[in-house]
Amino acid sequence: MSEASARRIKVTVRAVQILESLDVDKTGEFVFRSRVSSHNLDGSPREGRYPAEGHMKISEDPVYNRVILNWEIFQGEVTDHLVIELTGEEEDRFSGNDFLTSYQREFRGPVAEWLGTYGPGKDTGAAHDDDPEMMSDWRVTLFIDPA
């Protein structure tokens, strides 16, 4: 298999951690959305929602603010390009919904080099300040595995 040939992978959102619930009582009602796209796919992004219906309550209290999702957002063949986008929305009953900082990470090059875990502090650059999984109000941990 050459480096430019397609490789089947799956992308899983392992966990999220809420640092700012965006709610007065410090516990938010959250919905997460995913969008995975690639120059290698048929031009149609793969989109998802977690949970599939309703919302999940997550506190910003450090004891309760990390939730394991194991949410598979993509499974398919790619050659040399992949973009992962995640958004979080805190649903409000009496006012407009609030949004967490959007997450985006783009992968280019040989797919074998993408395999692994991406999470807070896992892959900071030379300046140690460009970790895309560490947004100001939440954190995300992803797995990219062979499928």
Whether the per-residue pLDDT at 120 is higher than 70: the answer is: yes
Among the listed residues 103, 99, 102, the one whose alpha carbon sits nearest the alpha carbon of residue 23: 99
How does pLDDT run across 31-54, given as a tens digit for each residue? Answer: 999 999 998 877 789 999 999 999
Q: Which amino acid, residue 33?
A: R
* pTM, 2 dp: 0.90
User: Worst-scoring range by mean pLDDT, 70-79, 98-107, 108-117, 121-130?
Assistant: 121-130
Say what the pLDDT of residue 11 is.
98
CB 83 within 8 A of CB 11: no
Whether the per-residue pLDDT at 63 is higher than 90: the answer is: yes
What's domain 7-146's architecture? Sandwich (2.60)
* Distance from C-alpha of 44 to C-alpha of 138, rounded to nearest angstrom: 28
Q: Per-residue confidence at 59, pLDDT binned at 50, 70, 90?
A: very high
Q: Which two tokens stand for residue 47?
A: 């989109």
Q: Where are the domains of the chain?
A: 7-146
